[in-house]
């Protein structure tokens, strides 16, 4: 259960966050707590002793919750936690091969090669690079309205989510498709106008994440996939947020019965990865690499264990069941709309972005961690171990938060606003 001992943020968390705000050059808008490492399952404890219920799961990168005993065991048994962080692309460790093999076992037939890297952005960046390498005459890539693929310059070039992320940066050439039924027609027109060879690749999130948790329909996905196939344009699925079982299938593209040419993974996998048929990769050493490609040995070991546990505990089916329950229960809450989801990638809308921001803050103040997405949505992405009882607890906090924040002239006050950027009177 949520258990708050102090006002949020607590004094110790506040002190660290204040210093971070002053010294962290990449200061963001963080949740008002500092993690202690204590916690169990869906609950985590901050350094002030407050216990939060986590429906943000480290931005979808904590699939098994806090202090899962088998993951702790992995850490305990790891023989390679010497201070050496192995440069895995150049100096091999067996975990690198083992993780690739495990990843390929859960990938579509024909996808027989993977490349390990560090982050989601790097996974996308390298997925794009291998397509560009194959298509030297291509002039631009194609992504979708609302897309988010990461913040390195290559991945940022594919971005059509919040303008703030990309404004002021020199970017690679990219064109945007609408996120609706007309996407394949627009793509066909692009091909007519510029030629298929000018397109390096098309990239799609099969459940759009930061852009607003939008689920594309069959017509959109199948249409674009088929135009790409017909014209030999590589089709990339970005599975960084939706992948590794979150949506109730290993990969979100499986909901559409298609196979991409390349896909990216990261977050829940603990390391970044690009997966494709061997022939998609450059086949020449040195074209793609990174000193720490695959991260620390421990990251790879934990990634493997996560795959094993998802399989053994049949968490794909469980994620679907729990996700359906969340969407059903959301339908009973007054003052929200657009409840939707695939597995444990669920969201709902508020009437405007200010109200949404206030509800996110109010939830944190009440001990529930949730994240915004898109213009006015809140996403619910708990770990795969979430129970109905915990979902009920979370939704009752959301219900209370929506009610409070919908009152006329409501605005947050106090320390929490120093970190979370409170909106004024958003009703």
Binding residues vs ligand PLP (CB under 6 A): 59, 119-121, 124, 148-150, 205, 209-210, 238, 240-241, 266
Beta-carbon contacts of 257 under 8 Å, excluding residues fewer than 6 positions away, are none
In whole angstroms, the minimum distance from the beta carbon of 125 to ligand PLP comes to 9
CA 248 – CA 238 distance, rounded (Å): 16
Q: Which two tokens stand for residue 288?
A: 């793609």
Of 271 and 397, the one with the shorter C-beta distance to ligand PLP is 271
In whole angstroms, the minimum distance from the beta carbon of 386 to ligand PLP comes to 20
CB 44 within 8 A of CB 54: yes
β partners of residue 388: none
In whole angstroms, the minimum distance from the beta carbon of 60 to ligand PLP comes to 7
In whole angstroms, the minimum distance from the beta carbon of 224 to ligand PLP comes to 17
**Which helix (DSSP H) or strand (DSSP E) does residue 177 occupy?**
strand 174-177
In whole angstroms, the minimum distance from the beta carbon of 207 to ligand PLP comes to 9
Ranked by CB distance to ligand PLP, the top (closest) residue is 120
CA 214 – CA 199 distance, rounded (Å): 25
β partners of residue 373: 377
CA 81 – CA 75 distance, rounded (Å): 8
Of 127 and 199, the one with the shorter C-beta distance to ligand PLP is 127
DSSP output for 23-78 = H-TT-----S--EEEEEEBTEEEETTS-EEEESSHHHHT-TT-BT-HHHHHHHHH-
Of 240 and 306, the one with the shorter C-beta distance to ligand PLP is 240
In whole angstroms, the minimum distance from the beta carbon of 206 to ligand PLP comes to 10
Of 9 and 245, the one with the shorter C-beta distance to ligand PLP is 245
In whole angstroms, the minimum distance from the beta carbon of 210 to ligand PLP comes to 6
CB 116 within 8 A of CB 294: yes
Of 54 and 210, the one with the shorter C-beta distance to ligand PLP is 210
Q: Which two tokens stand for residue 108?
A: 């579509």
Of 103 and 401, the one with the shorter C-beta distance to ligand PLP is 103
Of 121 and 191, the one with the shorter C-beta distance to ligand PLP is 121
In whole angstroms, the minimum distance from the beta carbon of 61 to ligand PLP comes to 8
CA 313 – CA 116 distance, rounded (Å): 26
CA 197 – CA 265 distance, rounded (Å): 27
Of 42 and 271, the one with the shorter C-beta distance to ligand PLP is 271
Of 224 and 395, the one with the shorter C-beta distance to ligand PLP is 224
In whole angstroms, the minimum distance from the beta carbon of 246 to ligand PLP comes to 11
DSSP output for 117-155 = ESSHHHHHHHHHHHHHHH-TT--EEEEETT----SSHHH
Neighbours of 91 (CB within 10 A): 10
C-alpha separations of 64 from 2, 43, 320, 327 in Å: 18, 11, 15, 21
């Amino acid at each position: 259960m949520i258990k708050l001992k102090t006002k949020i943020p607590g004094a110790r968390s506040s002190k660290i966050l204040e210093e971070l705000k002053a010294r962290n050059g990449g200061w963001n808008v963080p949740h008002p707590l500092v993690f202690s490492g204590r916690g169990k399952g869906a609950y985590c404890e901050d350094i002030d002793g407050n216990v939060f219920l986590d429906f943000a799961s480290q931005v979808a990168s904590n699939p098994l919750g806090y202090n899962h005993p088998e993951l702790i065991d992995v850490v305990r048994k790891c023989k390679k936690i010497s201070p050496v962080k192995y440069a895995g692309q150049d100096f091999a460790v067996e975990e690198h091969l083992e993780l690739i093999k495990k990843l390929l076992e859960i990938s579509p037939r024909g996808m027989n090669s993977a490349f390990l890297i560090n982050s989601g952005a790097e996974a996308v960046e390298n997925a794009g690079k291998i397509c560009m390498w194959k298509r030297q005459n291509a002039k631009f890539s194609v992504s979708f309205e609302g897309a988010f693929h990461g913040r390195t310059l290559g991945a940022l070039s594919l971005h059509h989510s919040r303008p703030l992320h990309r404004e002021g940066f020199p970017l690679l050439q990219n064109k945007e498709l609408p996120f609706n039924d007309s996407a394949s027609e627009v793509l066909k027109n692009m091909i007519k106008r510029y030629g298929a060879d000018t397109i390096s690749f098309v990239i799609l999130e099969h459940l759009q994440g930061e852009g607003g948790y939008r689920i594309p329909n069959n017509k959109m996905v199948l249409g674009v996939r088929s135009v790409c196939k017909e014209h030999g344009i590589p089709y990339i699925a970005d599975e960084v947020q939706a992948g590794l079982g979150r949506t109730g299938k290993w990969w979100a593209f499986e909901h559409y019965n298609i196979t991409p040419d390349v896909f990216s993974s990261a977050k829940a996998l603990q390391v970044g990865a690009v997966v494709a048929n061997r022939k998609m990769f450059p086949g020449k050493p040195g074209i793609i690499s990174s000193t720490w490609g695959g991260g620390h040995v421990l990251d790879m070991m934990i990634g493997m264990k996560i795959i094993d546990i998802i399989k053994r505990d049949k968490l794909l089916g469980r994620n679907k069941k729990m996700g359906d329950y969340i969407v059903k229960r959301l339908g009973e809450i007054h003052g929200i709309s657009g409840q939707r989801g695939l597995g444990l990638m669920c969201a709902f809308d508020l009437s405007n972005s200010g109200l949404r921001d206030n509800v996110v803050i109010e939830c944190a103040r009440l001990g529930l961690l949730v994240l915004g997405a898109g213009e006015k949505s809140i996403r619910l992405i708990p770990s795969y171990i979430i129970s109905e009882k915990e979902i009920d607890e979370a939704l009752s906090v959301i219900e209370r938060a929506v009610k409070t924040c919908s009152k006329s002239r409501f605005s947050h006050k106090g320390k929490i606003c120093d970190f979370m950027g409170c909106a004024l009177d958003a009703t």
